[in-house]
Structure 1
Amino acid sequence: MNLRTPVDHMTARVVAATNGLFSHGPDPLARTLEFPGDPGRFGPDSVSWRVIGDSAVFIGGIRALLVQAAHPEVAAGVADHSRYRNDPLGRLSRTAAYVTATTFGAGPEVDDAVGTVRRRHRPVVGLSARGRTYDADAPDLAAWVHNSLAESFLVAYQHYGDRPLAAADADRYAREQATLGALHHATPLPGTAAALSAWVADHPDVASSPGQREAIDFLRRPPLPLGVRDVYGLLFRAAAVTLPPRIQAAIGVRPSPGAETVGRTVTHLLRGTLGASPSWRLALCRVGVPEPAGVRFRQPLPPEAAARRAAIG
């Protein structure tokens, strides 16, 4: 007898679709247990582990791509050099892998992830539609990409996270993320949450552009399987409603009524079924510290990690 309710079916569909959106490609932490005791860039006491370990990160990732597209030179670089049209999930998955490695990876994994991104960005040069040259490895464009990603995860967490941060912790998150941006030689790197959000919202280079319109149309309606596309649409609307009005206007995205309520519902479902990030749990195991009280990890550890966890207690 099938005792599953319609809510159970809906929850399973949301979870499967969300995993399908972000889980393509190799495991970025496949070798992480080879570095026992290594805290990585941030470590178990960081705010970054708490923010990026929450299910709100799925909304933050989509928001970051929307914000990044608001810069015409960044949008031109994506349009001219990316394979996103032929690989609709590739950019999301690569972004997710980079964030996982740089947040929860050991030091060598962080360095590898940063090095990979910088190598990919080196040939991304050209001329935007408004006649400006772009270089993806230049400090100002690196800052736009990094800061929009860091700020989007923070905003998504403050809107949809399990326990929104106090101001002091939000500022600590901004400082932690600035240390990662420095590895890309990005500048400027704001050191408080308010300064970070203001830098993104008021950036003078934000404007509409042809490459941007194509990217936003693609992000709004990517060619995904039906079930995945429906769930993606919920995450997209939840991300769009958190954008600064100036960026909404520049990229032509209007907030949908009830989008925040939908976003809270979806993240609540994901939090209850998937739990906190399994990468966070694996990183805790690598470092050799107990799992934090009040955080629910629902996905099992790999056998080697589970044995280490049992020894930690």
Structure 2
Amino acid sequence: MLHEVRTRVIDSVRGMFAHAETPLLRTGEFEGDPGLCGPGSVSWRVIGDVSVFVGGIRALLIQAAHPEVVAGVEDHSRYRDDPLGRLSRTSFYVTTATYGAMPEVVEAIDKVRAAHGGVSGTSHRGQAYSASAPELAAWVHNTLTDSFLEAYQRFGGRLSVEEADRFVVEQMRVGELLGASPLPATAAGLRAWITGHPALAPSPGMRNAIGFLKRPPIPPAQRVGYLVLMNGAITTIPRRLASVLGVVAVPGARVAAVSLILGLRRVMSNSPAWQAALERCGTPYDPRLFRDQHPGMAQ
């Protein structure tokens, strides 16, 4: 009975991320390659935890506060028609950039840069935008980094100031390959840059994006859990950003999110991509800490 429940939960969550290529399929071919981060990194610990689900939703919410960034999404993305596809592609990119061998990392980042190449236009306030512009790429990258870190700190495990800064520096390497700039080098500096960003303001694209994120067209079996995670994410958004976004968490949101994350952690354990990366690097690990074998692992 418990095994059946565990399988249903894992399949339900996995189904939300199964609309794009599976990351690290060939990672076993790059034996000994630590990639950008490596086995001793903070990034492998943070991104491998189930709190990453909260971090991903938080990043999407915060990214909508930048009128030019959200205009690019509104004008060029198919997120309304294919929300799970967009979610899966983002997951593929984050997972590969964090755990992949360097050839896999470079390939994933090249795909993102190519996709951003044609994304340009003018926002509702008359400002030109280009997804390839270093400052707009920085907004997307930096909010992802800050959100994964904040979600882990609130719902995962506690990192020291030094460990949090190490995570930011490790993720900076991804941002540099993307051509993003500026890239603050400390957790405190990153948060200050995001909360004090002068470009932030409400916009029609923001209201559309927030409305969509509050009511995404996902299967009923996944919707309740998603809403708990989304409201948990809202509780972590700094006051100025929440005011711009116009978001307020429902009562009891943090307690509900903590309970759900604890349950998911017990059922799902850690990311199989982390396990595959450890295998590739020849690093000993306890297989009981991971939920199943990754296709890219040595058989």
TM-score (norm 1): 0.91
Return the match for 2:289 from 290, 296, 304. Answer: 296
* Structure 2 match to 1:305: 297
2:151 is aligned with 1:159: no
2:277 is aligned with 1:283: yes
Cα 1:97–1:61 change in 2 (3 A) is same
* Structure 2 match to 1:310: none
* Structure 2 match to 1:135: 130
Supply the AA of the counterpart residue of 2:104. E
Following superposition, the deviation at residue 269 of structure 1 comes to 1.2
Supply the AA of the counterpart residue of 1:184. L
Deviations 1:255-293 (A, max 9, x none): 222211112111111111111110000000011111169
Unaligned ranges ≥5, structure 1: 308-313
Following superposition, the deviation at residue 241 of structure 1 comes to 1.0
Supply the AA of the counterpart residue of 1:305. M
Cα 1:95–1:28 change in 2 (3 A) is same
Deviations 1:199-258 (A, max 9, x none): 111111111000111011011101111111111111111111111111111111102222
* Structure 1 match to 2:40: 45
* Structure 1 match to 2:246: 252
2:194 is aligned with 1:208: no
Matches within 5 A, 1:221-236: 221-236=215-230
* Structure 1 match to 2:268: 274
Matches within 5 A, 1:86-235: 86-161=81-156, 163-235=157-229
Following superposition, the deviation at residue 15 of structure 1 comes to 3.8
Following superposition, the deviation at residue 4 of structure 1 comes to 5.8
Cα 1:241–1:15 change in 2 (3 A) is farther
How far apart in 2 are the matches of 1:210 and 1:267? Answer: 32
Following superposition, the deviation at residue 185 of structure 1 comes to 1.4
Supply the AA of the counterpart residue of 1:194. A
How far apart in 2 are the matches of 1:256 and 1:14? Answer: 24
How far apart in 1 are the matches of 2:27 and 2:89? Answer: 18
Cα 1:301–1:119 change in 2 (3 A) is closer
Deviations 1:170-189 (A, max 9, x none): 01111111111111111110
* Structure 2 match to 1:311: none
SS in 2 for 1:89: helix
Cα 1:34–1:274 change in 2 (3 A) is same
SS in 2 for 1:282: helix
Greater shift after overlay, 94-103 or 261-270? 261-270
Unaligned ranges ≥5, structure 2: none
Deviations 1:69-93 (A, max 9, x none): 1100011000000001110212211
* Structure 2 match to 1:77: 72
Supply the AA of the counterpart residue of 1:242. T
* 1:14–1:231 contact (8 Å) kept in structure 2: no
Following superposition, the deviation at residue 300 of structure 1 comes to 2.8
Cα 1:232–1:181 change in 2 (3 A) is same
RMSD: 1.8
Following superposition, the deviation at residue 18 of structure 1 comes to 2.2
How far apart in 2 are the matches of 1:241 and 1:18? Answer: 22
Greater shift after overlay, 275-284 or 19-28? 19-28
Cα 1:258–1:167 change in 2 (3 A) is same
* 1:40–1:106 contact (8 Å) kept in structure 2: yes
